[in-house]
């Protein structure tokens, strides 16, 4: 019998807000989209409040955090952004690197600069407020160990390199790298998530890695929803990774 995955699905609704912000109108509403996602099998709603507020707005975040069920916020460790998280009180936060004008998140956090206390301070403040903290890291052992030392509850492994691998051999090697980082995270009693650039072709293999608890996926689901509707796009992804 094939190994059954118990991997959860976090659906990122940022790009519903991207569409709304294109006209600065009230539709499509990311909160209404989140409700459709939940009704279609999403285990968690994810959003990224960016410093430039290019998609999700503070008011969206507050409303998403009022919904029943888990809202997971991606955020830079900038104190001003951490303050926004403390106001909204999501169930969990994933700290990510953020640079101005980047098109999307570019890789995991650099946790190796001992002088840079921003992540450490953010973890402390969030945990003190009872918010679970995940750190977005590249799938390497040093970053996973450092995430544990900084007090993270969970690591989210960056899947960009795996998703970008065009040849089978390269993709298998990247998957192995993710698997090894996942074993280490589990060994260190860290929760294990993965995400970024996952789609309907590459997500299943990541969901089936040992100890993988949740995949966070946005762009591929929202893109597919243009053709098949959000309900179907979420249901299909949920079936694919379960």
Query: What residues are annotated to the active site?
Result: 48, 74, 196
User: Taking CB under 6 A as the rule, does residue 202 contact ligand PXP?
Assistant: no
Tell me which stretch binds ligand PXP (CB under 6 A): 17-25, 54-62, 120-128, 216-224.
Answer: 216-224
**12 is an interface residue for ligand PXP by CB under 6 A:** yes
Q: Do 107 and 138 form a contact (C-beta atoms < 8 A)?
A: yes
Six token digits for residue 185: 């995270």
With respect to ligand PXP, which residue has the nearer C-beta, 65 or 96? Answer: 96
Cα distance between residue 106 and residue 99, in whole Å = 8
What is the H or E stretch that residue 187 is in?
Answer: helix 168-187
Question: Judged by CB under 6 A, which of 74, 138, 153, 174 binds ligand PXP?
Answer: 74
In a 3-state reduction of DSSP, which class is residue 29? coil
Binding residues for ligand PXP restricted to 109-168, rule: CB under 6 A: 136, 156
Q: Does 50 bind ligand PXP (CB under 6 A)?
A: no
d(CA 186, CA 194): 13
Q: Which stretch binds ligand PXP (CB under 6 A): 52-60, 80-88, 173-181, 194-202?
A: 194-202
Cα–Cα distance for residue pair 123/72, rounded to 1 Å: 15
Least distance from ligand PXP to the Cβ atom of residue 90, Å: 14
Q: Report long-range pairs for 57-63 (Cβ below 8 Å, ≥24 apart).
A: 57/17, 58/84, 58/87, 58/88, 60/17, 60/30, 60/31, 61/88, 61/90, 62/87, 62/88, 63/31
With left for phi above 0 and alpha for psi between -120 and 50, is residue 109 left, alpha or beta? beta
Q: Which stretch binds ligand PXP (CB under 6 A): 122-130, 138-146, 167-175, 213-221?
A: 213-221
CA 167 to chain centre: 25
Q: Is residue 96 at the binding interface for ligand PXP, with CB under 6 A as the rule?
A: yes
Only segment of 166-174, 176-184, 205-213, 214-222 that touches ligand PXP (CB under 6 A):
214-222
Smallest distance from ligand PXP to CB 158, Å: 7
Residue 104, interface with ligand PXP (CB under 6 A)? yes
Of 34, 75, 217, 237, the one binding ligand PXP (CB under 6 A) is: 217
152-174 b/e (C-beta count within 10 Å ≥ 16 → b)? bbbbbbbbbbbbebeeeeebeeb
Judged by CB under 6 A, does residue 183 bind ligand PXP? no
Which of 178, 198 has the CB closer to ligand PXP?
Answer: 198
What is the contact surface with ligand PXP in residues (CB under 6 A)?
12, 14, 48, 74, 94, 96, 104-105, 136, 156, 195-198, 216-220
């Amino acid at each position: 019998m094939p190994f059954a995955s118990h991997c959860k699905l976090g659906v990122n609704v940022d790009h519903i807000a991207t569409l709304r912000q294109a006209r600065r109108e009230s539709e499509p509403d990311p909160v209404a989209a989140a409700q459709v996602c939940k009704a279609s099998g999403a285990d968690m709603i994810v959003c990224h409040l960016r410093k430039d507020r290019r998609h999700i707005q503070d008011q969206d975040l507050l409303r998403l955090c009022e919904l029943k069920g888990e809202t997971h916020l991606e955020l830079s460790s900038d104190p001003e952004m951490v303050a926004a998280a403390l106001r909204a009180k999501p169930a969990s936060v994933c700290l990510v690197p953020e640079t101005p004008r980047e098109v999307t998140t570019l890789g995991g956090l650099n946790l190796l600069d001992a002088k840079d206390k921003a992540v450490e301070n953010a973890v402390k403040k969030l945990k003190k407020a009872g918010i679970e903290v995940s750190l977005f890291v590249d799938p390497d052992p040093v970053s996973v160990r450092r995430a544990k030392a900084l007090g993270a509850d969970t690591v989210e492994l960056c899947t960009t390199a795996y998703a970008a691998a065009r040849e089978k051999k390269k993709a298998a090697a990247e998957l192995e790298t993710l698997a090894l980082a996942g074993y280490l995270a589990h060994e260190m009693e860290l929760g294990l998530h993965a995400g970024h650039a996952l789609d309907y072709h590459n997500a299943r293999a990541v969901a089936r890695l040992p100890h993988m608890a949740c995949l966070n996926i946005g762009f591929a689901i929202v893109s597919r929803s243009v053709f098949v509707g959000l309900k179907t796009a979420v249901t299909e992804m949920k079936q694919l990774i379960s």
